[in-house]
């Protein structure tokens, strides 16, 4: 089974769970992810102040339906958790269709799809259904039931840390708050989990964050504000599995190292780079002016730009194993560059040092890329002035980053350059 197929299997397994910004669906999601990599789970009590926000009450739901006079469920939570507006308060009533209509949400322009709706911070209730299903409902009375609770509880998030050679951190964030939305939510979780499993003895310490959108990131930032200076780079993963081209959204800084690395890695691929805006996923929290972290966002088709977005059309069939594998490959390549991107100082800067007497030319003998490797050494030596990074060298020379990094390693070992 390929990595893409394994990630898709994880998406299919997580898909039926009813997630929200709090609750047992989030906990169960994290339990399943923890079968793939160890997680440390955190619970933050309702009422905890996190900057300008307060951790909300916890929502859980067991069942919900609208039943006609015969008892047949015409809208059934058991068929799809999208049928209930997230955070709906409990309901047990009989009402006419006209009384019920203000609580029904459809997509008239996409009549076969069920929309995704929430009501996190203003108590209410509702159902979502396809417009064509609503059109089939006859007038009459219906039994309406939402068996839910909104009580004091916890907000749940989890971390997985891959220790590095230094304590400076790269954060990778994905959101766990959406119910059955395969691309918007679950593909990012799957890519993050498999990326974390691949990292072995990296330079940076990598912290993977699995948490609800907005309130989760704000909570994490609040609880980690004193050590936030450890975070040097970051990436938010979302919409990671559809068939569209890759899209990178820059950090608020616009010229952060992660911005340059992603743009470099995406060269040669069909892709789009977009400027930062304070709307989207949790890059807007990490990039808020009080933190202004170098955190960008990687997706395929961005939020709200594909018809299936926030609808029942965003199901496992919409997510492609090969697309997730491609997203994973870009993340892998980007972090390989980020991990090795250093600045060096030439220890023999007066004229070109003699490479032959140090065995550096001999080490290239027989290599098919000997000329490229030799050129990479000369470029590294020339730009090893303490100001230019290896990424600068690769961009200016047009040489592959791997060749430049390999040359730097050889020159460092020969004591011709130092970090």
Annotated binding site for Zn(2+): 178, 184, 310
Please state, in angstroms and rounded to a whole number, the distance separating the CA atoms of residues 364 and 372: 10
Please state, in angstroms and rounded to a whole number, the distance separating the CA atoms of residues 325 and 344: 34
Q: Quick one: which of 336, 240, 219, 220 has its CA closest to 297? A: 240
Do 188 and 174 touch, CB atoms closer than 8 A? yes
Residues 327, 332, 334: CA angle, nearest 5 degrees: 95
Backbone angles phi, psi at 82, to 5 degrees: -70, -15
Annotated binding-site ranges: 178, 184, 310
Q: Quick one: which of 77, 72, 70 has its CA closest to 91? A: 77
Residue 190 CB neighbours (<10 A): 33
What DSSP assignment string belongs to 291-343? T---EEEEESSPTTSSTTTTBTTSSGGGS-HHHHHHHHHHHHHHHHHHHH--E
Residue with tokens 């039926």: 16
Q: How many helices (H) and strands (E) does the chain have?
A: 12, 19
Please state, in angstroms and rounded to a whole number, the distance separating the CA atoms of residues 235 and 101: 42
- DSSP, collapsed to helix, strand or coil, labels residue 388 as strand
């Amino acid at each position: 089974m390929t990595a893409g197929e394994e990630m898709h299997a994880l998406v299919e397994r997580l898909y039926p769970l009813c997630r929200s910004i709090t609750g047992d669906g989030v906990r169960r999601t994290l339990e399943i992810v923890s079968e793939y990599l160890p997680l440390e789970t955190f619970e933050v009590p309702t009422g905890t102040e996190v900057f300008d926000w307060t951790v909300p009450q916890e929502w859980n739901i067991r069942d919900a339906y609208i039943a006609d006079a015969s008892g047949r469920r015409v809208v059934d939570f058991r068929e799809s958790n999208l049928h209930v507006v997230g955070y709906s308060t409990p309901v047990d009533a009989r009402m006419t269709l006209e009384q019920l209509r203000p609580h029904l949400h459809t997509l008239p322009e996409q009549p076969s799809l069920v929309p995704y709706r929430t009501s996190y911070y203003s108590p209410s209730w509702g159902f979502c259904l396809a417009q064509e299903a609503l059109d089939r409902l006859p007038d009459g009375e219906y039994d309406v039931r939402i068996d839910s609770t909104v009580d004091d509880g916890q907000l749940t998030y989890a971390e997985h840390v891959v220790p590095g050679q230094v304590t400076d951190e790269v954060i990778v964030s994905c959101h766990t708050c959406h119910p059955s939305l395969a691309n918007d939510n679950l593909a990012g979780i799957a890519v993050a989990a498999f990326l974390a499993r691949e990292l072995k003895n990296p330079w940076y310490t990598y912290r993977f964050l699995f948490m609800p959108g907005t309130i989760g990131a704000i909570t994490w930032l609040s609880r980690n504000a004193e050590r936030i200076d450890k975070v040097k780079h970051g990436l938010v993963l979302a919409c990671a599995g559809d068939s569209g081209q890759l899209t990178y959204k820059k950090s608020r800084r616009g010229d952060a190292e992660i911005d340059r690395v992603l743009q470099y890695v995406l060269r040669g691929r069909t892709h789009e780079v977009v400027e930062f805006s304070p709307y989207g996923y949790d890059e807007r929290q990490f990039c808020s002016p009080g933190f202004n972290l170098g955190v960008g966002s990687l997706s395929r088709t961005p939020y709200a730009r594909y018809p299936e977005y926030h609808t029942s059309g965003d199901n496992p069939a919409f997510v492609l194993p090969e697309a997730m594998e491609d997203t994973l490959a870009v993340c892998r390549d980007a972090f390989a560059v980020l991990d090795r991107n250093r600045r060096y100082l030439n220890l023999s800067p007066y004229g070109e040092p003699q490479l032959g007497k140090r065995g550096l030319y001999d080490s290239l003998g027989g290599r098919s890329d000997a000329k490229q490797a030799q050129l990479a050494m000369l470029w590294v030596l020339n730009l090893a002035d303490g100001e230019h990074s290896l990424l600068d060298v690769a961009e200016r020379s047009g040489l592959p980053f791997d060749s430049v990094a390999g040359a730097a390693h050889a020159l460092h070992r020969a004591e011709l350059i130092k970090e």
